[in-house]
């Protein structure tokens, strides 16, 4: 069995690591129109990793226009599903080849243990892109059962431009959960990572281009929620927005949808999830271990963390 590398190994790699720092729009790296940048900090040490271009509404407008053009001209949306699938599977393979780099970049940017980044996050990301790549030519239309003389059909087709706004606790894995299915269906995507964790999202953009995802189909805009995030929520040419984060911000995206084009908004908002333990539990040790894992896994930074215990008085 292969031994997991020690701290010295990862420290040496970290010292040599280069970080992506620009916006990724239409297959090109570019600075924000405003010229603004914001710091990306290692939360474990407080050290500055790099400074990243800060997108705002002007950059969002350009990215949406390019994503719309890419969708309408069919460079991705009209590719045979099997070909889209091949490229997504290729992306999964490329991520596997860059697994150490991406895991270390995530650890430096977010502060989670490298063991978790490598074995949990990256494993899930690779599976997500591979699974959706394999599924692209297995999503069928339907004909509903109807009376004679009429026909009811369900046709599944891409929406258009999808915005994905993701949090800082599982930055690249949450991005994969949104980007992979959107791309598999033929959409163009604009990914806005959390300002605390922009680096792996930007690295994903370069790897996607290498995998054959055409320019303009995946764009990455690091920036702040009240500027870049809000601009995506209000943009009339964004057809759908997927968000994972706080209930407070989720409500804002619903408002932005109503104030603009009533775009579809898919929310995953955090909550207070209880563990309920009754006296007839036949293994209290297992229940205690599960409760500890539920609240402390990933530093307690989990959307569905078991953050309360409701325990019957007798135990």
Using one digit for the tens of pLDDT, what is the confidence trace for 80-129?
A: 999 999 999 999 999 999 999 999 999 999 999 999 999 999 999 999 99
Q: Domain range spanning residue 111? A: 12-144+154-269
Q: Are residues 258 and 278 in the same domain?
A: no
Count CA atoms within 13 Å of residue 199 on its CB side: 24
How many separate domains does the chain show?
2
Q: What is the pLDDT of residues 205-230, one digit of tens each?
A: 999 999 999 999 999 999 999 999 99
Q: Does any domain span residue 114?
A: yes
pLDDT at 273: 81
Write the pLDDT tens digit of every residue in 234-288: 999 999 999 999 999 999 999 999 999 999 999 999 777 888 999 999 999 999 9
Quick: pLDDT tens for 163-210: 999 999 999 999 999 999 999 999 999 999 999 999 999 999 999 999
pTM of the shown model: 0.92
With cut-offs at 50, 70 and 90, classify the pLDDT of residue 1: low
Q: How far is residue 19's CA from residue 13's CA, in Å, rounded to a whole number? A: 12
Looking at residue 124, which CATH number applies to its domain?
A: 3.40.605.10
pLDDT of residue 299: 85
Whether residues 284 and 165 fall in one domain:
no
Residue 232, pLDDT score: 98
CA distance 234 to 259: 7
Q: Among residues 93, 281, 301, 303, which one is catalytic?
A: 303
Quick check: is 295 in a domain?
A: yes
For the question of residue 268 being annotated catalytic, the response is yes
User: What CA–CA distance (Å, rounded) separates 257 from 291?
Assistant: 37
Q: Are residues 47 and 192 in the same domain?
A: yes
Write down the pLDDT at residue 298: 87
Confidence of residue 305 (pLDDT cuts 50, 70, 90): confident
- Residues 25-34 have a mean pLDDT of 98
pLDDT at residue 302, rounded to an integer = 84
Please, what's the b/e burial string for 289-309 (b: 16 or more CB within 10 A of its CB; e: otherwise)? eebeebeeebeebbbebbbee
Q: In terms of domains, do 107 and 46 share one?
A: yes
How many Å apart are CA 22 and CA 221, to the nearest integer?
9
CA distance 147 to 191: 45
Mean pLDDT of 295-311: 86
**Do 209 and 300 sit in the same domain of this protein?**
no
Torsion over CA: 166, 169, 172, 178 (sign):
negative
**What value does the mean pLDDT take over residues 124-138?**
97
Among the three residues 235, 250, 269, which one is the final residue of a domain in this structure?
A: 269
Going across the sheet that includes 240-245, the strands are 28-30, 23-25, 218-220, 188-192, 161-165, 240-245, 264-269
Q: Tens digits of per-residue pLDDT, 49-69? A: 999 999 999 999 999 999 999
Q: In the numeric block, which tokens belong to residue 181?
A: 């299915």
pLDDT of residue 25: 98
Query: Of the candidates 242, 218, 105, which has an alpha carbon nearest to the alpha carbon of residue 167?
Result: 242
Catalytic residue among 268, 269, 281, 301: 268
SS3 163: strand
Whether the CB-CB separation of 159 and 207 falls below 8 Å is answered with: no
| 3-state helix, strand and coil shares in percent for the chain, rounded to the nearest 5 | 45, 20, 35
Looking at the fold, whether 50 and 172 belong to one and the same domain comes out as yes
């Amino acid at each position: 069995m292969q031994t997991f590398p020690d701290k010295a190994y990862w420290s040496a790699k970290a010292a040599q690591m280069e970080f992506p720092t620009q916006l990724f729009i239409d297959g090109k790296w570019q600075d924000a129109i405003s010229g603004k940048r914001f710091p990306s900090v290692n939360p474990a040490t407080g050290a500055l990793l790099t400074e990243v271009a800060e997108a705002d509404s002007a950059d969002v407008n350009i990215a949406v226009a390019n994503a719309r053009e890419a969708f309408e001209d069919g460079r991705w949306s009209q590719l045979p599903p099997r070909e889209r699938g091949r490229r997504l599977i290729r992306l999964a393979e490329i991520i596997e080849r860059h697994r150490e780099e991406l895991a270390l970049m995530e650890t430096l940017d977010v502060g989670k243990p490298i063991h978790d980044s490598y074995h949990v996050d990256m494993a899930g990301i690779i599976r997500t892109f591979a699974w959706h790549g394999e599924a692209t030519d297995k999503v069928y239309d339907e004909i509903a059962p109807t009376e004679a003389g009429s026909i009811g059909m369900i046709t599944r087709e891409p929406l258009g431009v999808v915005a994905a706004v993701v949090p800082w606790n599982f930055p690249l894995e949450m991005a994969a959960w949104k980007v992979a299915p959107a791309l598999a269906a033929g959409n163009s995507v604009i990914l806005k990572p959390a300002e605390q964790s922009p680096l792996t999202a930007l690295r994903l953009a370069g790897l996607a281009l290498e995998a054959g995802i055409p320019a303009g189909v995946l764009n990455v805009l690091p920036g702040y929620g009240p500027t870049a995030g809000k601009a995506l929520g209000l943009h009339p040419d964004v057809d759908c927005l997927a968000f994972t984060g706080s209930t407070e911000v989720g409500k804002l995206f619903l408002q932005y949808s109503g104030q603009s084009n009533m775009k579809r908004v898919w929310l995953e908002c955090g909550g207070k999830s209880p563990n309920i333990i009754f006296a007839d539990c036949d293994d209290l040790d297992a229940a205690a271990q599960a409760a500890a894992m539920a609240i402390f896994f990933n530093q307690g930074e989990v959307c569905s963390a078991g953050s309360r215990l409701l325990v019957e008085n007798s135990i």
